[in-house]
Amino acid sequence: MTSMGAKVIDSINDGHRPYVFKISGQVCHRVGSLIPSEGCRPEYAQLYIFDTDHEVSNRINITSSSRTPFHANEDIVHSIIQMLDTHNPIVKLFRTARERLSENSYDQYSIRLFGDVDAHGDICNFSVASEVVGPVVGDIGHTDVGRDLIIEDRSSSLQQIDERHRKFMAMQYPILFPYGEDGFHDALFYNLTSTSTSMRRQKATMAEYFGYRLHDRPNDFNTPLRCGRGTQAYEVDGYCCVERERIDHYRTPSFQRKYRSATYHSLANNVSSGVRSASSVGQSIILPASFTGSPRYLYQKYQDCIGICRKYGCPDLFVTFTSNAAWPEIAEALPLGLHPSDRPEIVDRVFKMKLNILMDDIKKKNFFGSIYACNNSTNLSFHSDFLLLIIPTKRHIYPFAVVYTIEF
């Protein structure tokens, strides 16, 4: 129902390795008008409203590619459409808009998707079922409230959807969320337990929410983890949302008001030109070393390793520890019919457990001898590779450096 704006790199999928969903650049999600522009074919949410008599062929044509010989099965597409029409409240809302537009083609209508959990009572004066996500109205005007998403029947521009909108993922991946389930939102609280009551923070973070979603549980058929390549796209999209939230935190004025950066040459030019106020010089947004993967983060790790080499000597061995998709632990954790590439989070978790065992063998069991020097960078992140330097006491026999990578 929405358009994912990102540069998808398909060159990596050349048939010689498992499928990988890889994107580059900034990711955004946009939604357009209910009716396509003159001469344009319907796309995304417009497929539910415009030219529904040929909806199956429209969907197949818009997703077909001249680079692959694959052609979708019309019966399967038709059955999925019927399933969503029956069970998905967002799709029902779009179908209602289609009926209203067909009855009164000259009137202007809009769809509101509520962004707040308790927004129904504040906006609608009529009774609304719990599964309904928004009304079709003709006079919204300027009554936008909070994070509500308003889709107009005719609009000349696309509007971006906030990652914290509770229907954000349900609109991008309707197959993964066939019932239009709510995703992450700002009013997501912890369950009341003995542990949660002692916590100062009562709301769940976006990272915690996706960590919860990416786990299998007994008697719970987790649809987002059963969709193969769709699962990969969902996990990559969720990771981008978490990173976006972290970057937004460092962009806040409360964090950036004390820090500014600029090159020495730039500062010297400003001083010579008579600029005396630091608030008008340099870049105001700084990504600190506490942000994993930032240039300052990598530079700090590099300096730690170089400092050890400077005092205790350079390493002699360079060990690369990679994952193996054929590990029995991965095969046992995979549901029936899925491949390791369909569940990258399982591969990551098994890799991390084996990595911890390797580090215990080196640091606690002294497999290469007693440790003489070691930096403290032992908490690894799956999306950032850096050098971890360990120098044993017998440096002429077993000194080495370890770099950790993940390969599927």
Q: Is 277 among the domain residues?
A: no
Same domain, 368 and 230: no
CA 48 to chain centroid, in Å, comes to 26
Domain count, the chain: 2
Report the pLDDT value the prediction gives residue 350, as an integer from 0 to 100.
92
Beta-strand ranges (E) seen in 104-153 are: 110-113, 136-137, 149-152
Residues 315, 220, single domain; the answer is: no
Looking at the fold, whether 195 and 310 belong to one and the same domain comes out as no
Q: Mention every residue, 6+ apart, whose C-beta is less than 8 A from residue 120.
A: 114, 128, 132
Query: Looking at residue 65, what is its pLDDT?
Result: 62
Q: Quick one: pLDDT at residue 247?
A: 84
pLDDT at 155: 66
Give CA–CA dist 26/7, Å, rounded.
Answer: 8
For position 75, what pLDDT does the model report?
92
Residue ranges in 30-88 assigned as alpha helix (H): 55-63, 74-87
Same domain, 165 and 237: yes
- Residues 263-293: pLDDT tens digits? 555 666 666 666 656 555 555 567 778 888 7
> Own/partner pairs for 333-339, CB < 8 Å, 24+ apart?
335/216, 335/225, 335/226, 338/226, 338/228, 339/18, 339/228
Q: Is residue 282 part of a domain?
A: no
Residue 220 has a pLDDT of: 85
261 is a domain residue: no
- Residues 219 and 318 both lie in one domain: no
- Is residue 258, in this structure, part of any structural domain at all? no
Whether residues 78 and 187 share a domain: the answer is yes
pLDDT at position 387, please? 45
Distance, CA of 244 to CA of 213 (rounded, Å): 18
315: its two tokens: 């390493």
Residues 67-119 have pLDDT tens digits of 667 788 899 999 999 999 999 988 888 888 777 777 766 666 677 777 766 55
Domain membership flag for residue 269: no
Q: Are residues 325 and 395 in the same domain?
A: yes
- Please tell me whether residues 341 and 215 are part of one structural domain: no
* Per-residue model confidence (pLDDT) at position 327: 92
Position 77 in a domain: yes
pLDDT of res. 113: 78
Assess whether 176 and 296 both reside in one domain. no
Write out the residue range of the structural domain in which residue 188 sits: 3-250
User: Is 167 found in the same domain as 44?
Assistant: yes
The pLDDT score that the predictor gives to residue 82 is: 93
Residues 6+ positions from 384 with CB-CB distance below 8 Å: 292, 293, 297, 298
- The whole-angstrom separation of Cα 384 and Cα 404 is 9
In this structure, is residue 75 part of a structural domain?
Answer: yes
Helix, strand, or coil here: 381? strand
Residue that is last in its domain, among 195, 225, 250: 250
Do the domain assignments include residue 266? no
Let me know whether 214 and 297 are in one domain.
no
Q: Which of 232, 250, 268 is the last residue of a domain?
A: 250
Running along the chain, 408 residues long, what does each successive block of 10 average in pLDDT? Answer: 85 84 84 79 81 84 69 90 91 82 67 66 38 51 58 71 87 91 87 77 89 88 89 91 85 62 61 61 68 82 82 74 88 88 89 88 80 60 43 41 40
How far is it, in rounded angstroms, from Cα 149 to Cα 113? 5
